[in-house]
Amino acid sequence: MDWKKEWKPLAWIVAVFVIFFYLPIDSARLRGAVIESLALTKWYAQEHVILCLIPAFFIAGAIAVFVSQASVMKYLGAKANKVLSYGVASVSGTILAVCSCTVLPLFAGIYRMGAGLGPATAFLYSGPAINVLAIVLTARVLGMELGVARTVGAIGFSIIIGLLMHLIYRKEETEKINAQMAMPEPAVNRPLWQNGLYFAAMVGILVFANWGKPNEATGLWFLIYSYKWLITGIMSVAFGAMLVFWFKLSKIAVGITALATAAIALVFPHQPLLAFSAAVVGLSIITSRREDESGEWFSQTWGFAKQILPLLFGGVLVAGLLLGRPGMEGLIPSQWISGSVGGNSLWANLFASVAGAFMYFATLTEVPILQGLIGSGMGKGPALALLLAGPALSLPNMLVIRSIMGTKKTIVFVSLVIVMATIAGMVYGAVWG
């Protein structure tokens, strides 16, 4: 037997055996951490999969099928105009109110279609980091200074991180450009404006279906929240019409799906997930049975789901086991975290950046969490460091990024976010602390 090849499997077997042999099942903290892990995963499944991830999978599948590689390369490719490509990527979060996991299918879609590593990673960071509602909430709850610093930092980070990723892997990016130059321009099946409206409808459904309830029951944000399902329904009707008239899907099949969705919404008005699920199932059945580009759309969507969902759920389980849910504890005591982020030392900012990078923050949840930590003595610098590293990264997010662009690039990307968040926190703490 060649032990040079077999030592890794043996090491894994021994490690797992030792863990279970000495597993402290009588420990109250371990039992609590397991419950928190399951509770966080349950919450994630209820709040993020149907309304967030499934629309994102369909958008990513549509990018792979209906957007030509030449178009992606023109606006986001390694040779694209830098001002245009990084400008588009860095402000994408103002449109997409997504978390660090929902952005992953969209990132995978544009990256595989030929987007340069720099613009793609700029989009990957900015998507969850530059959420308009989250920034407004930060300014209102945590102060205007921190809100402005978060905005400037997030936009600047996305551009700088993207440029650094491009420079670090510029040789590889040059090879990608040379390979892409030999690819022929694909045939265009419909006008650009039709594809634009088609994607706008899907993005609109994603954004408004997930529009969060603001703290104050006044103003434009609350008005949109009050009519979010009406707006989502109107966009869904428009989307269905596009599928029938532009993509030639069956009028009868789309009509039956629309009627079933409307009927469920009327019978169960306070359970919108049921109606949304019916629409998703109907769309999946219609597209999966076709052999044309619509069938390929579903095939690509299903491919993204198979790759990403298992890693996300595995990551959420581990994150819940280690850190628990907001306000609850996992294996790592919350006192360790709150006690390590006081002042403005290098350690405090670095710890806040690393802890934020591995924790999972749903959209807007980082603000009340930080409010509690600041009340417990967290410094202003570490608060900004956590805001700049936390929403854009998480353990589930890292696992999926690794499957898309490899271990080395993932380590570099995560390290850049942590280092830059730490530096930004120290500078902000020194000036405003």
Residue 182 has pLDDT above 60, yes or no: no
Query: C-alpha distances in angstroms, 214 versus 136, 140, 150, 201, 314?
Result: 10, 11, 19, 24, 31
Domain boundaries, the chain: 36-178+290-432
Region of poorest pLDDT, from 63-67, 139-143, 304-308, 360-364: 360-364
To 10 degrees, the CA torsion angle through 391, 395, 401, 406?
140
The span from the CA of 39 to the CA of 323, in Å, is 12
Mean pLDDT of 22-27: 84
Query: C-alpha distances in angstroms, 297 versus 11, 102, 423?
Result: 42, 19, 43
Return the SS3 of 282.
helix
Contact 369, 326 (CB under 8 A): yes
- Per-residue pLDDT band at 143 (split at 50, 70, 90): confident
- Per-residue pLDDT band at 276 (split at 50, 70, 90): very high
Residue found under tokens 């710890």: 351
Nearest-CA neighbor of 325 among 367, 362, 374, 375? 362
Q: Across the chain, what does the average pLDDT equal?
A: 85
The percentage of the chain sitting over the pLDDT mark of 90, rounded to a whole number, equals 37
Mean pLDDT of 29-37: 89
Alpha helices in 289-394 (DSSP H): 293-323, 334-338, 346-358, 366-375, 380-389
Long-range CB contacts (< 8 A, 24+ apart) of 140-148? Answer: 140/215, 141/215, 141/367, 141/368, 141/371, 142/367, 142/370, 142/371, 142/374, 142/383, 145/432, 146/380, 146/383, 146/384, 146/387
How many Å from the N-terminal Cα to the C-terminal Cα in the chain? 62
- Per-residue pLDDT band at 233 (split at 50, 70, 90): very high
